[in-house]
Amino acid sequence: MKIFIESIIMAFDAVRANKLRSGLTLLSIAIGIFAIIGAGTAVTSLNNSVNGELASLGQNTFQIRHKPSIITSNRESMRYRSRKPIDFAQAKDFKRQMESAESVSVYDNESRLIVKANNLSTDPTVSVEGIDEGYFICNNVVIDEGREFTAEDINLNRPVIILGRDVAERLFPAISPLGQQVSVKGHRFTVIGLQKKRGSILGSSLDDLVYVPITMYQKYFAEYITLTIFVKAPSKEALSFVTDEAIGIMRTIRNVKPGDDNNFEIETNESLAASFSGLTDYLTIFGFASGAIALIAAGVGIMNIMLVSVKERTREIGVRKAIGAKRWNIMSQFVIEAITLCQIGGVFGIFLGLMGGLALGSALGFQQASVPTTWVVGSVVICTFLGILFGSYPAWKAASLDPIEALRYE
């Protein structure tokens, strides 16, 4: 234990004695750990936020789409290009036949539109969501002022609209929006409800949107339309049965022959989260690779510091060996010093990585920023391994010195 404490003290003495050289080396370690921890913090916060947002939609809900919502390559994109869209007639037929579901909703959207009211207008960032009365149940959307759409609104093509909070605050800063008129693409709608504020994710507001009946959406906004169908099962236990029924009905509606693959996609919240996690893995790999390069360079610096330390302390090593110090005593002393140097840089890197990752998460609007405990522990292990790997040769060289020659060294 005494040797261990003395070795740590000597490591700090080495940093003080060679401030510039030690500082540059420790900076390299800090940069490497920063890249690893920063990427880990950002990825963990991102995944937690996305999973939380998906969970808020309900664990019993799944989507039916004509192609996956997340496509990772051009080859995969080409594979789905020939698929026919899910049109409104198919969606209505599916909704009519789907008996075991708690709710079924037809959905599409168009983004980057401007909404106007009186002399005010929004930025061209608003998403217009075409929905029906079942959307609110399927996706746990809460209307906390006014009312939701009804089946009559959809079937009678009523020009009504529900506003997200960002749109409402921009267009009606001093009065209630309910009953007011707004214009989208030159078409006028009456405000009947306000969505409960949801916040943002990935720097994108979840309140910068408006809802219109899907029939009005098709009339005014849809140019090339392929619909998404949301289906909510009565319970988590019934999800599998409802999914199987939905697949069977869609295969019939879209004329899929027995033995052929589905020409549509079933996506649950779990599958979407898994697909998104696959994308964030690339960020993890990039961060780890960048950190590894910096750590290798730092390891060479650690070895250089330790070799200089061996040379400067040659007489001290000779004295220790002359009074009975064993080879493992000398080796352990220098290895512990190397590990300590790595851990000093690692502590700074962990702190900077956590601050950087959490700051990035806050800037992007992550709702559930978190500290990746596994990555922090892993960084400590990496720094320990780095010290052992690059401190072993200097330690071996110190332990191999001949005590007589070492005592003669000037």
Tell me 295's DSSP state.
H
Average pLDDT, the chain: 82
Residues 246 and 60: their CA atoms lie apart, in Å, by 13
| 6 vs 81: which has the higher pLDDT | 81
For the chain, how many residues are written? 410
- Region 308-334: what's the mean pLDDT? 79
Alpha-helical segments (H) within 98-238: 135-138, 151-155, 165-171, 214-220
Gap between the Cα atoms of 267 and 265, Å rounded: 6
Asked if residue 288 has pLDDT above 90, the reply is no
User: What does the pLDDT look like over 20-62, one tens digit per residue?
Assistant: 767 777 777 888 888 777 777 777 777 766 666 655 556 688 8
Residue 278 has pLDDT above 70, yes or no: no
When pLDDT is cut at 50, 70 and 90, the band that residue 291 belongs to is: confident
pLDDT-above-90 percentage for the chain:
33
Residue 403 pLDDT > 70: yes
Q: Which amino acid is at 54?
A: L
Residue 142: how many other CB atoms lie within 10 Å: 10
What is the pLDDT, as a whole number, of residue 404?
Answer: 73
Residues pairing with 161 in the sheet:
191
Predicted pLDDT of residue 56: 59
Residue 289 has pLDDT above 60, yes or no: yes
Inter-residue contact 77 to 91 (CB < 8 Å)? no
pTM for this one?
A: 0.67
> Across residues 68-88, what is the average pLDDT?
77
Residue 212 pLDDT more than 70? yes
Q: Coil, strand, or helix at residue 211?
A: strand
The answer, yes or no, to whether residue 367 has pLDDT greater than 60, is: no
Q: What is the pLDDT of residue 49?
A: 67
Q: For residues 183 and 167, give the distance between their C-alpha atoms in angstroms, rounded to a whole number.
A: 12
Q: Which of 233, 311, 280, 256 is nearest to 41 (CA)?
A: 280
- Give the tens place of pLDDT for each residue, 132-148: 999 998 888 899 999 99
